[in-house]
Amino acid sequence: MEARCPSDPALERHLLAGASSPLEGHVSACASCAARLEAMNRLAEAFHREVYPATLAAVQAAAAAHRRERLRWLVLGPALAAAVAAALTLTRLAAPPAEDAGATGGLGLTVLVQEGAGARAVRSGEAVDAAAALRFRIHAASACRLWILSLDAAGEFTRLYPGEGTGGAAVRGAVEIPGDAVLDGRAGPARIVAVCTPGPAKWRALAAQLKGTAAVSEDFVRAPPNAAALPAGATLASVLLERRS
């Protein structure tokens, strides 16, 4: 038995892990830990008896409201018909950020804005309607795991594609991204960022690396993303949108 009993957070992990917990040996032989676990289980029972039924509806309603807000950005639907022109904006990692530059053989991102029955490619920095519907096209020179994120003027990254899963979508070559993203109607800069990593990666971690410790401002959104902060081998492409209402 270890000399020191595990901390409360460690016991929380133990409860979540169940029989596979590495602490099983210690806690099964430690009266103090057994008493702490019993107390924790009593509080869990109190939660399930009193807190959960009284608060679940509010939690679900708040989650649904947040989801609806996100869906204003991302309206996933069936793949639309063929697109029109494309404008590749490529940045390759490991080199100085050449944001929105021409093809470099890494990752290409095309942002298309719906106009009438067709769509047109957007140049980085171009003004678009604040409620425009966007579609995306990717070209990955080699197989990788893709995330498409949006960065708004508040500095918040939002996951656009894939809408589910945790490791990113496996892509290679030219890929039409299914569905479209509808801008939320607010004016100001927004940046669409595509990141492709050699293996599965969590989008939130990638967003945190891109954000770093930078102060959030419209200038931050307009500046080229700090691609060098991403994991080795990752490629990045981005397009800046100036939303006009």
Partner 1 sequence: MFSRKEAVLTDHRDTVAELYRLHGPAVYRRCLRLLGQADLARDATQEVFVKLVRHLDGLADRETALPWIYRVATNHCLNLKRDGRRRGEGAALPDLDLADTAGAEPFPDRTLARQVLARFDAATQAVAVGALVDGLDHQELAALLGVSRRTVARRLEHFLDGARRLLGGT
Q: Which residues bind partner 1 (CB under 8 A)?
A: 4, 7-10, 12-13, 15-16, 40, 43-44, 46-48, 50-52, 54-56, 58-60, 62-64, 66-67, 165-166, 202, 204
The pair of structure tokens assigned to 129 is 């309607």
DSSP string covering 58-114 = HHHHHHHHHHHHHHHHEE--S--S-------EEB-TTS---TTBS--SSEEEEEEEE
Looking at beta carbons only, is 44 or 214 nearer to partner 1? 44
Smallest distance from the beta carbon of 29 to partner 1, in angstroms? 19
Q: How far is the CB of 60 from partner 1 (least distance, A)?
A: 5
Our CB check for partner 1 shows the closer of 36 and 120 to be 36
Helix axes 31-46, 8-17, angle to 10 degrees: 70
For the chain, how big is the Rg over CA atoms in Å? 23
Q: Which is nearer to partner 1, 167 or 224 (CB)?
A: 167
Which of 15/103 has CB closer to partner 1?
A: 15
Min separation Cβ 162 and partner 1, Å: 11
Q: Report how far residue 121's alpha carbon sits from residue 115's, in angstroms, rounded to the nearest whole number.
A: 10
In angstroms, give the least distance from the CB of 12 to partner 1: 5
Q: Which two tokens stand for residue 222?
A: 């307009």
68 φ, ψ (degrees, to nearest 5)? -60, -40
Specify the length of the chain in residues: 245
CB of 8 to partner 1, least distance (A): 6
**Selection from 222, 158, 159 nearest residue 191 by Cα:** 222
Question: What percent of the residues of the chain are helix, what percent strand, and what percent coil, each to the nearest 5?
Answer: 30, 30, 35
Task: Name which of 44 and 95 has its Cβ closer to partner 1.
Answer: 44
Name which of 65 and 94 has its Cβ closer to partner 1. Answer: 65
For residue 24, what is the enclosing H or E element?
helix 24-27
CB of 219 vs partner 1, minimal distance in Å: 25
